[in-house]
A and B are shown apart, each in its own frame.
Chain A
Amino acid sequence: MRPSSVYLGGLLWKVPWKLSPTRKANTRARLKKVDAVIEAVRSSGIQCVALDKALQLPKEHEMHPRDKYTMFSATTRGYRKGIHKMPKWTRLTHRVNPKGF
């Protein structure tokens, strides 16, 4: 018996290894919305530690496409995998990856 997805129940969920152009466009739009929120808080003139940390994040136009659509993975060949493989990735912030990868 080979424990394949077909054998284990007969149902198969396919997850593409990379994002489609539509998903990439939506990702860029989401990043811009977060940038707008940080900008609104910054322009209010309030100073706080959370804002200092948020301003260190790169903006969407400063990010390399590799960082927008992939994330660091220590166990994958090439040390990168699709960012869509991270649970709740559309509602979390993940902009920075280890340098050199």
Chain B
Amino acid sequence: MAPVRCLATEAAQPLPANAESISPTNTHFKITLRRSALALGEKKQKTLLSLGLTRRFQTVYLPHCPSAAGKILLLKELVEVENVPASAVRTKQEQRQERKAPKGYVVKGNKLRESPWDI
């Protein structure tokens, strides 16, 4: 049977029951430093430090609050911002683990760690 075509003028379908998990509410800012604050003054450099950004292309997650918003707007020319849900927040260590490539092998055991008198 041929697929049914819908006109764009038809009413939108109601959201399914698990709409919350499909499009969760965004609770955090994902802030990435794209341009440095060199020669832009102490205020902007210290603001970057207060956000936790110490080098270019570093990513930091901050919960939504007016102080974070104000800091972002002070640095709006330097920074890239995205709104993400709480499930997308990653710590520095977690980000590093995600960047690592799989080694292609799994260590099953270590003969050197067994008793030295075993042959």
Contacts and interface: CB of A to CB of B under 8 A. Distances in A.
B76 A93 contact: yes
B contacts with A: majority SS: mixed
Interface residues of B, number: 24
Contacts of A36: 80-81
B74 A37 contact: no
A66 interface: no
A76 interface: no
Interface residues of A, number: 24
A33 B81 CA distance: 10
A contacts with B: majority SS: helix
Contacts of B77: 30, 34, 90-93
A43 interface: yes
A47 interface: yes
B40 interface: yes
B35 A41 contact: no
Contacts of A38: 73, 76
A30 B78 CA distance: 10
B26 A37 contact: no
Contact of B76 (A47, A49, A54): A54
Interface in B43-80: 64-66, 68-70, 72-74, 76-80
Nearest to B37: A91
A41 B69 contact: yes
13 contacts: A34-B77, A37-B76, A37-B81, A38-B73, A40-B29, A40-B83, A44-B26, A45-B64, A50-B73, A50-B74, A90-B35, A91-B78, A93-B77
Interface of B: 26, 29, 34-35, 37, 39-40, 64-66, 68-70, 72-74, 76-83
